[in-house]
Chain A
Amino acid sequence: DTAVSQTPKYLVTQMGNDKSIKCEQNLGHDTMYWYKQDSKKFLKIMFSYNNKELIINETVPNRFSPKSPDKAHLNLHINSLELGDSAVYFCASSQDGNPRTPTYNEQFFGPGTRLTVL
């Protein structure tokens, strides 16, 4: 059973297109994240959703919009794709309900989606 899944695994598209990446977690976690890993392998957080509310919104372009239909899903929509958007995007989830639990804030990562914009 996959804990955090992302689709698609690879996405190749033309500049200017609109695309979505889906993320689902079956861990019952209440917080989900989107990260971007650039070509230099530097990992940077983009968004975090807790119980369907945005709680971190880093300085990413507003072409990127997270959508959370329920707490098990956090999808990433990207409009008007640019060359610089090419990267690997990771989804993750964590359970932040009780700081005393051993797995509090431990993050579980999806396999990543490699986006290539041509």
Chain B
Amino acid sequence: KNEVEQSPQNLTAQEGEFITINCSYSVGISALHWLQQHPGGGIVSLFMLSSGKKKHGRLIATINIQEKHSSLHITASHPRDSAVYICAVLEYTGNQFYFGTGTSLTVIP
């Protein structure tokens, strides 16, 4: 079993919809990352969280340390949001990174 599980694996949405991607993990962590990988392959770091909530534009990331769960929300989704979203956690010793298998999002105009 993977230390980091994401759901859903694939997601198709209509432009304008509110989107939620979930990430659950089984290890103690010091930080959780949300990454975005575009169809061209480039990877961008969206958020790094250790508690609470962060917002950047239409993106919101939350984390519940007790429940070992994080969500990435996209408001007013747009076709340019189409990408793979990857959740990654830094284990609390700082020596291990674990990655989810990614959520492939397609936003249809």
Contacts and interface: CB of A to CB of B under 8 A. Distances in A.
A15 interface: no
Chain A's interface: helix, strand, loop or mixed, by majority?
strand
A55 B102 CA distance: 25
Chain B's interface: helix, strand, loop or mixed, by majority?
strand
B41 A111 contact: yes
A85 B37 CA distance: 21
Interface size class of A (residues with CB under 8 A): 20 to 34
Interface size class of B (residues with CB under 8 A): 20 to 34
Interface string B25-56: 00000010101010001111100100000000
Contacts of B35: 43, 107, 109
Interface of B: 31, 33, 35, 37, 41-45, 48, 84, 86, 88, 90, 94-97, 99, 101-102
Interface of A: 40-45, 48, 55-56, 88, 90, 92, 103-109, 111-112, 114
